[in-house]
Structure 1
Amino acid sequence: GMGGVGKTTLAKKVYYHSTMANHFEIRRWVTLTDADQDSDVNALFASVGSQVLETQEKGDGKEHWINKLHGFLEPKRYLVILDGVLPTPPMP
């Protein structure tokens, strides 16, 4: 959505609310930069994966991160907020 309308502020209120802390086993705030989103899909998955898993691991492509994230998150109740996602240009 449009910048400056309060999306991040609202998401932070939800993320840091005590009810959320007690409801989810895992909570992660993932900040995506323009560079993350301008790069290839493997780099984007590496950025998201390393932030969710809280690791410095570089990984070996998107399949690596999909498998790691699935193994980490699948058995748990989790909340992952993606902040800074760029809007997709409209289709012609």
Structure 2
Amino acid sequence: MAKRLIPLFNRVLVEKIVPPSKTNAGILLPEQSSKLNSGKVVAVGPGFHGKDGKIVPVAVKEGDTVLLPEYGGTEVKLNEKEYYLYRDDDILGTLND
């Protein structure tokens, strides 16, 4: 049975994108010190209640590629895969292709 985590409030479940370490031809790529810390949104919570009692929705949606802070997030392991939980306001932005 596969587990599925549905975040609460304004939390976002992200799978980090790991840049390839070698090309299709097998050439090893050097690790870049300025690599982009990005991830793919797997699940989002419904949002949080504002001061007026209305729900403020999360700014990202499932499938978005997002820019993540260098530090932070809570590591979660599901079905032998690593994911990270972030608050919506911790995500720095979305990345477009």
- Per the TM superposition, whether the score is higher than 0.5 is no
Which has the higher Rg, Structure 1 or Structure 2? Answer: 2
Instruction: Provide TM-score, normalisation by structure 1.
Output: 0.29
Instruction: Provide TM-score, normalisation by structure 2.
Output: 0.28
The structure whose RCO (Cα within 8 Å, separation 6+) is larger is: 1
Name the structure with the higher helix share.
1
